[in-house]
Amino acid sequence: MGLRGTKVPHKKNTAALASEALPTPPVVTIPMSMHIGKPAKPVVKRGDEVKVGQLIGAPDGFFSMKIHSSVSGKVKAIDELTMMNGMKVQTVVIESDGLQEKSDEVKPPVVSDFDSFVEAVKNSGVVGLGGAGFPSFIKLGVKELTRIDAVVINAAECEPYITSDTRTIIEKSEYLAKGIEAVRKFMGVQRFVLGIEDNKTEAIEKLRADFASTDGVEIRVLPSMYPQGGEKVLVYHTLGRMIPRGELPIDVGVIVINVTTLAFIGEYLETGMPLTEKCVTVDGSAIETPKNLNVPIGTPIQNLLDFCKTKAEPAKILYGGPMMGLAVPSADNPVLKQTNAIVAMDEKEAKPPKTTPCINCGRCLNHCPLKLDPRAIARAYKLGEAADLDRLCVDICMECGCCSYVCPAKRPLVQTNKLAKAMLRKYLREKEDKK
């Protein structure tokens, strides 16, 4: 018996569509924050000439990341942008010359041991490309390597519409193999379990063919169930290990890494080109011709919409899928490192459903993958009972949205959980300050 979840429409309209190169945009806007942690600091100024792969943002502290130019051209401005979370961040705006000349800084890294491997991953600028944006060099920079006995490669891609990871498997499996071998060689991990949902037939066949004779690589085909790609869910369903509250995969001997992230690491070790481009699925009810596009980071979303054409005015645009995606303030916002999809919804799909009172049916509880009780959390939040929120373990909510999706009353349960988590964090801080 596995962890709970729910069935969602697959809508994998682009799964069989090879990725296409988007024409180089006239202008890119590259934020200095495309990762969890402190924003990078611009190291270029207005008027500077830059090339593809050149460093334009330097890390500002340990929990920060390098940012590189995705086009060749001239720095037009150092500006500011409002991100999807409401925060304002610095950006480097570059006017492309259309030549896409490669920087002299782009050279394959010299990797000979664990430390130089982690340094290479850091220099590549790669973050979790499944959407999380966690700096990959921190995840792989394990101080005690003997704690790790398995790497779980996340290829579940369980959200509707998104197929960019699927295309990575089909189009770049040789780099995935190089990424696996690098982790094996420099981290000493011998077991790799690749978790993929059973609705990705072509990708499964590709993986089985490519890794049939590779020792230590297991292809684990899992039922199509949302949120199969959730870290705790995936570790349980691939290895049978439960990650306790307050602990991380490493505490049960596991590193979880997205399949596109690992393939990119393999590619970077060979080419030396840092993270400057993303494969992005463009789909949704407002899109006329859904596609998978290879896009320079910083490209305005509007360019992707124009290339795929819209059949209706988008009423809502999401970074990511409809279950966990974040609404974009404007189509002028750019593609980020962690952007795996742009979903554009028409007015009908974007319209919030009418909410009615809770009927205590228990569906939200029955479908929560972590067995939380969204009804009780909502009551405690409404009453301001932060201690009850602690007891109800709202802090482990992964915000997958299963509760809201299955609720017949269409209550905004996942949104309430987010607010409840913020209330609990404040309560715990204040409690700690009083000690």
Burial of 144 (0-12, 13-18, 19+ CB in 10 A): exposed
Distance of CA 7 to the CA centre of its chain: 21
Quote the tokens at residue 291.
């596609």
Task: Give the tens place of pLDDT for each residue, 153-172.
Answer: 999 999 999 999 999 999 99
Q: Is the dihedral of CA 382, 385, 390, 392 positive or negative?
A: negative
Task: Give the tens place of pLDDT for each residue, 300-331.
Answer: 999 999 999 999 999 999 999 999 999 999 99
In this prediction, residues 229-234 reach a mean pLDDT of 96
Question: Which domains are delineated in the chain?
Answer: 20-106+274-349 (3.10.20.600), 114-271 (3.40.50.11540), 363-433 (no CATH)
pLDDT at 287 > cutoff 70: yes
The residue whose two tokens read 């891609």 is: 157
pLDDT for position 41:
97
pLDDT for position 62:
86
pLDDT at 10 > cutoff 70: yes
First to last CA, the chain: 43
Please give the single-letter amino acid code of residue 135: P
Task: Give the tens place of pLDDT for each residue, 390-420.
Answer: 999 999 999 999 999 999 999 999 999 999 9
Task: Give the tens place of pLDDT for each residue, 249-269.
Answer: 999 999 999 999 999 999 999
What's the pTM?
Answer: 0.95
Task: Give the tens place of pLDDT for each residue, 22-68.
Answer: 999 999 999 999 998 899 999 999 999 999 999 999 999 888 999 99
Phi first, then psi, for residue 305 (nearest 5°) are -65, -40
DSSP state letters, 151-195? EEEE----SSS--HHHHHHHH-HHHHHHHHHHHHHHH----EEEE
Task: Give the tens place of pLDDT for each residue, 330-381.
Answer: 999 999 999 999 999 999 999 999 999 999 999 999 999 999 999 999 999 9
In this prediction, residues 226-233 reach a mean pLDDT of 96
Task: Give the tens place of pLDDT for each residue, 190-225.
Answer: 999 999 999 999 999 999 999 999 999 999 999 999
Please give the single-letter amino acid code of residue 35: H
Q: Is the dihedral of CA 262, 268, 269, 270 positive or negative?
A: positive
Burial of 236 (0-12, 13-18, 19+ CB in 10 A): middle
Residue 410 DSSP one-character state: -
Enumerate residues 6+ apart whose C-beta is below 8 A from 240.
none
What secondary structure, in 3-state letters, does 102-128 show?
Answer: ECCCCCCCCCCCHHHHHHHHHHHCCEC
pLDDT at 1 > cutoff 60: no
Enumerate residues 6+ apart whose C-beta is below 8 A from 412.
355, 404
pLDDT for position 2:
63
pLDDT for position 86:
84
